A and B are shown apart, each in its own frame.
Chain A
Amino acid sequence: KAGVTQTPRYLIKTRGQQVTLSCSPISGHRSVSWYQQTPGQGLQFLFEYFSETQRNKGNFPGRFSGRQFSNSRSEMNVSTLELGDSALYLCASSPIGTGNLNGYTFGSGTRLTVV
């Protein structure tokens, strides 16, 4: 069974640019969540999508946005990149419903470096 796939694995962008990251969930999983991981703050929740609708959002500025497609694949976008956006961005998928956290599975992440 294929896991959560994130692309690209590594990305280098210049301050002020925008970036789009992609996540393909485990087959059958309809919930996709995004997290930012930095050495100082650890893993912080960005947002969650379920059936193409955002149903949960963390405390991040509006420069961070996302969407989910009908096949459950998700993308997140960061506009006007800042140096502080350098981080590992992780996607997690979970089975249908709320509370099925036993199946909450992470991808390997996209390492974004802003220069």
Chain B
Amino acid sequence: QKEVEQDPGPLSVPEGAIVSLNCTYSNSAFQYFMWYRQYSRKGPELLMYTYSSGNKEDGRFTAQVDKSSKYISLFIRDSQPSDSATYLCAMAAITGGGNKLTFGTGTQLKVEL
């Protein structure tokens, strides 16, 4: 079983829709939670970063973390064609031994006009 599970999609939604992306994890040591967006032929770009349970909002994006259920979500409001990309959840357990991110396999999103 993988430490981080993510629905691979692909997910296709109409412009303006609310998108919900989810990941579950099994490692209780994970303390930091991130969402990255990756366009084709590009490296991942950090969208959201949080280290506590609850919600964090940034513009059209809301990240939600539920540590008790080991579940994180990313919501995109008023989705745009430019949001079409692969979304990766990532997690880290910082133990003093450096930084190491564990990623989900990514969800491919397409927002259609």
Chain A residues close to B by CB (< 8 Å): 4, 31, 33, 35, 41-45, 48, 50, 55-56, 58, 90, 92, 94, 98-102, 104-109, 111
Contact = CB atoms under 8 A, between A and B. Distances in A.
Given A42-B105, A101-B32, A55 B98 contact: yes
Given A102-B49, A109-B43, A48 B92 contact: no
Contact of A99 (B32, B44, B46, B106): B32
Interface string B67-96: 000000000000000000000101010101
Contacts of B102: 45
Interface string B57-72: 0000000000000000
A4 to B, nearest CB: 7
A79 B105 CA distance: 26
Contacts of B45: 106
Contacts of B103: 35, 42-44
B110 to A, nearest CB: 17
A39 B106 CA distance: 10
Contact of B43 (A44, A98, A107): A107
A108 B42 contact: yes
Q: How large is the interface on B (under 10, 10 to 19, 20 to 34, 35 or more residues)?
A: 20 to 34
Nearest to B33: A101
A101 B49 contact: yes
Contacts of B101: 33, 35, 43, 45, 92, 101, 104
A42 B99 contact: no
Nearest to B4: A42
Nearest to A111: B41
A48 B43 contact: no
The residue in A4, A99, A105 that gathers the most chain B C-beta atoms within 10 A of its C-beta is A99
A42 B86 CA distance: 11
15 contacts: A35-B101, A41-B105, A42-B103, A42-B104, A42-B105, A55-B98, A56-B100, A58-B100, A90-B44, A98-B97, A98-B98, A98-B99, A101-B94, A101-B101, A102-B46
Given A48-B100, A99-B94, A101-B49, A90 B88 contact: no
